[in-house]
Every structure is written in structure tokens, then in C-alpha cells.
Amino acid sequence: MRAVPRLCEFYPGICLTTEEKARRNLSQGKKNLSQGKKNLSQGTKNLSQGKKNLSQGKKTLSQGKKNLSQGKKNLSQGKKNLSQGKNNLSQGKNNLSQGKNNLSQGKKNFSQGKKTLSHGKKNLSQGKKNLSRGKKNLSQGKKNLSQGKKNLSQGKKNLSQGKTNFNQGKKNLNQGKKNLSQGKKNLSQGKKNLSQGKKNFSQDKKTLSQGKKNFSQGKKNLSQGKKNLSQGNFFKILFIYLFIFQQKRRNGEHEIDWKFPDVP
């Protein structure tokens, strides 16, 4: 049997074009499949990162709520201390006023004792009893004066304590306001982080969906490339038989051996 020349030797554009297209489609399908796998992996990583960001946002929001609650408690405590300081200040003022009244009363009694003593001395011959009573009044006046001084000292101490409590209450109130402001800032930051986490989570879902689509498209392209490659081989064999048939007709042969030749 004579060696049959290949159809591609006479018509190189036919076989090479079909086979080259099939191989190109197969190569492109493999590339698309690889890219789809990469996109799927990246989408999975982005989805995991979005979940972490969402969890971090929730933690920050919880911390902000705790700080806000602590700030409210400190503000309430500061208001209580301020009210207590005001009450102590008022009590100190009342004690101071009472001490002043007792001091004034002691001075009056002391003056009255002096007057009585003087009157007793003048009326010594006639009023030893009045002298004794004047001494008693004088002694009573001294006691009242001493008591007034003690009350005055106590009133000053209460006044100083009230001022101290008042200043402490102001400090606690300012600290409570600062903690409240910080708590509000933390709450706002937590809400922003939560919103950002949700956006990242949504974006990662979209990326994952796109990766799945690319993976599916890569599979389709790979399947199409295989079909094109198979189609190219079929047309190659068909053109070879047509060429053999044409050559035999030229040589005057009408019978054709339909056995498949070896295709390189």
C-alpha cells in the first residue's frame, strides 16, 4: 500500500487552524479554571476576614456599652456626692449660726453677770444674796461662753468638711461627665466598627460568589476546550479521508478501504 500524503501537507491552514483553536480553547479553559480556583480561595479568605471584623465590631460595641453604663454610674455617684456636700455645707452653716447665737448669748450672760456683780458689790451690804446670784450668773455666763466657742469651732469644722465634700462632689461629677462622654465615643466607634464589619462581610460574600462564578465558568471553558479538541481531531480525520478519496479517484480506483489510518 502506498504512503498516503497528509492532507495538512497540501492544506496546512485547515488542520492547523482547527487544532490550534482547540488547543487554545483548552489552554484558555485551564487558565480560567486556575483563576476560578484562585478567586474561590481569595473569596473564602475575604469571608473569614469579614467574620473576624464583624466579631471585633461586636466586641467594641459591647465595650462601648459597658463604658457608657460605667459613666452613668459615676455621674449618678457624683450627683449623690454633690448633694451630700451641699447638705454638709448647709449643716455646717447651721452649726456656725448656732455657735454664733450661743456666743452672743454667752456674751449677754457674761455682761449681765458683770452688771449683776457690779450691782451686787454696790449693794453688798444689802444684797449678799444678789452677789451670790450674780456669781452664779457669771459662772453660767462663762459656761455659756465656753459652750458657744465650742459650738463655733464645731461649726467651722463642719463648714470645712462641707466645702471638702462639695469640692469632691464637683470632681466626681466632672469625672462622671468625662466617663459618660468617653462611653458615648466608644459606643459610636463600636457602631462604626460594626457597620464596617457588615460592609466587609457583604463584600466578601460578593467576592466569594464571583469566585464561584469564575470557577464554574472555568469548568465550562475547560469542557468546551475538550470538545473543541475532539471536534478538531474529527475534522482532521474527515479531511484525510476526503483527500484519500480524491487521490484514488484520480488514480482510477473506486473502492475505498475505510480502515482508519494512523493519524500522527
Q: Which domain holds residue 85?
A: 7-250
What's residue 264's pLDDT?
A: 44
The answer to whether residue 12 sits within a structural domain is yes
Separate counts of helices (H) and strands (E) for the chain: 3, 0
**Is a pLDDT exceeding 80 seen at residue 50?**
yes
Q: Tens of pLDDT along 188-233?
A: 999 999 999 999 999 888 889 888 888 888 888 888 877 777 777 7
The answer to whether residue 259 sits within a structural domain is no
**Where residue 15 falls among pLDDT bands split at 50, 70, 90?**
low
Cβ pair 30, 229 in contact under 8 A: no
**Where residue 1 falls among pLDDT bands split at 50, 70, 90?**
very low
Residue 130 sits in a domain whose CATH number is 1.10.287
CA distance 65 to 82: 25
**Is a pLDDT exceeding 60 seen at residue 45?**
yes
**How many domains does the chain fold into?**
1
The answer to whether residue 30 sits within a structural domain is yes
CA distance 249 to 231: 27
CA distance 37 to 48: 17
The answer to whether residue 80 sits within a structural domain is yes
203: left (phi over 0), alpha (psi -120 to 50) or beta: alpha
**Where residue 89 falls among pLDDT bands split at 50, 70, 90?**
very high
Mean pLDDT of 66-86: 93
What's residue 13's pLDDT?
A: 57
Q: Which residue has the higher pLDDT, 240 or 70?
A: 70
Q: Which of 224, 212, 236, 264 is nearest to 27 (CA)?
A: 224
Chain length of the chain? 264
CA distance 68 to 61: 10
**Is a pLDDT exceeding 50 seen at residue 100?**
yes
Mean pLDDT of 239-256: 71
Give me the chain's average pLDDT, please. 84
Instruction: Of 24-28, 128-132, 148-152, give the lowest mean pLDDT range.
Output: 128-132
CA distance 237 to 253: 20
The answer to whether residue 257 sits within a structural domain is no
- The 10 Å Cβ neighbour count of residue 20 is 11
Q: What's the pTM value of the predicted model, to 2 decimals?
A: 0.44
The answer to whether residue 263 sits within a structural domain is no
**Is a pLDDT exceeding 60 seen at residue 257?**
no
The answer to whether residue 256 sits within a structural domain is no
Residue 129's identity, in one-letter code, is K
**Where residue 91 falls among pLDDT bands split at 50, 70, 90?**
very high
Max CA separation in the chain (angstroms): 187
**Is a pLDDT exceeding 80 seen at residue 256?**
no
DSSP-derived secondary structure letter, 257: -
The answer to whether residue 212 sits within a structural domain is yes
Q: Which of 38, 36, 43, 44 is nearest to 220 (CA)?
A: 36
CA distance 148 to 142: 10
**Where residue 73 falls among pLDDT bands split at 50, 70, 90?**
very high
Mean pLDDT of 152-156: 93
What's residue 97's pLDDT?
A: 92
